[in-house]
């Protein structure tokens, strides 16, 4: 899929901004015991699941939260935005508004960009 020609809400670069840009679509706002501003996103292309023990199953949904106090995701208050990236260990989170941290795993830091071009230029 050619992600720079699709209509995404924003673009995510994993690995502190060094990874391949991924198109993201907001799927909801969730909360855990510490914060109420986790953003559930669908992504394309997916994150390869093998490094996380998932074999051939790839990761199509992530949770994101801002890394810096005073910044927000609803709406994104500053571009680019540094975020924590968390994967779902339990897919039931997709149908919930609250989750327990035991249902997730931190995988990386990343950066959100408003456009595909911004994400590529920030490389």
Is 108 domain-assigned?
yes
For the stretch 60-81, pLDDT in tens is: 999 999 999 889 999 999 999 9
- pLDDT band at 15, cuts 50/70/90? confident
CA dist 49 and 26 (Å) reads 21
Average pLDDT over residues 90-99: 91
**Contact between 36 and 22 (Cβ < 8 Å):** no
pLDDT at 3: 64
Average pLDDT over residues 99-110: 92
Total domains in the fold of the chain: 1
| Owning domain of residue 47 | 3-115
- The pTM for the full model equals 0.91
Q: What is the mean pLDDT of the chain?
A: 90
Is 120 domain-assigned?
no
């Amino acid at each position: 899929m050619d992600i720079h020609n699709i209509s995404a809400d924003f673009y995510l670069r994993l690995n502190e901004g060094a990874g391949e840009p991924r198109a993201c679509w907001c799927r909801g706002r969730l909360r855990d015991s510490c914060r109420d501003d986790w953003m559930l996103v669908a992504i394309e292309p997916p994150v390869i699941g093998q490094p996380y023990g998932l074999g051939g199953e790839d990761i199509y949904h992530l949770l994101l939260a801002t890394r810096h106090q005073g910044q927000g995701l609803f709406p994104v208050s500053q571009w680019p935005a540094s975020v924590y990236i968390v994967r779902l260990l339990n897919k039931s989170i997709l149908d919930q508004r609250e989750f327990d941290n035991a249902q997730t795993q931190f995988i990386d830091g990343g950066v959100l960009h408003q456009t595909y071009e911004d994400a590529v230029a920030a490389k």
